[in-house]
């Protein structure tokens, strides 16, 4: 319930308040998209921590660039896969964690899970 509230708050921010900042995020994905992915896929405490660190580094003292969120652990095993049903790609990291990369071919139908 709290996670759903935070995701709605992020959606409101992305839709209405980012117009005030003129797209000034130094990273891809943007800080709000990064936070949204973190809150969807990780625990709330981990998502708060990673989002907070990301927002602190989004200023003129850091270069910016591409910084994908990390998935803490895999939880679901897909049953039916289709290129249009995969919302995010998971790329392994050295630390037994996964980078979460957005699938631009995603059509809005999520894959079935066990």
Residue 74 pLDDT greater than 80, yes or no: no
Classified as helix, coil or strand, 112 is: strand
pTM of structure: 0.73
Residue 22 pLDDT greater than 80, yes or no: no
Q: What's the average model confidence in pLDDT over 98-109?
A: 76
Instruction: Output the DSSP codes for 51-103.
Output: HHHHHHT-STTS--EE---EES-----EEE--TTT--EEEEE-TTS-EEEEE-
> CB under 8 Å to 29, separation ≥6 — which residues?
37, 68, 69, 102
Domain ranges of the chain: 2-13+25-113
Q: Contact 65/28 with Cβ under 8 angstroms?
A: yes
Predicted pLDDT of residue 101? 84
Q: What is the pLDDT of residues 25-69, one digit of tens each?
A: 788 888 888 899 889 888 899 999 999 998 888 877 888 788 888
């Amino acid at each position: 319930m709290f996670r759903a509230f935070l995701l709605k708050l992020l959606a409101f921010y992305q839709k209405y308040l980012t117009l005030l900042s003129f797209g000034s995020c130094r990273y891809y994905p943007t800080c709000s998209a990064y936070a949204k992915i973190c809150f969807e896929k990780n625990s709330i405490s981990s998502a708060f921590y990673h989002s907070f660190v990301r927002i602190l580094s989004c200023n003129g003292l850091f270069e910016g660039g591409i910084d994908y969120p990390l998935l803490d652990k895999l939880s679901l095993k897909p049953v039916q896969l289709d290129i249009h049903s995969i919302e995010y790609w998971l790329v392994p990291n050295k630390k037994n964690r996964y980078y979460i990369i957005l699938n631009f071919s995603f059509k809005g139908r999520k894959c079935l899970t066990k």
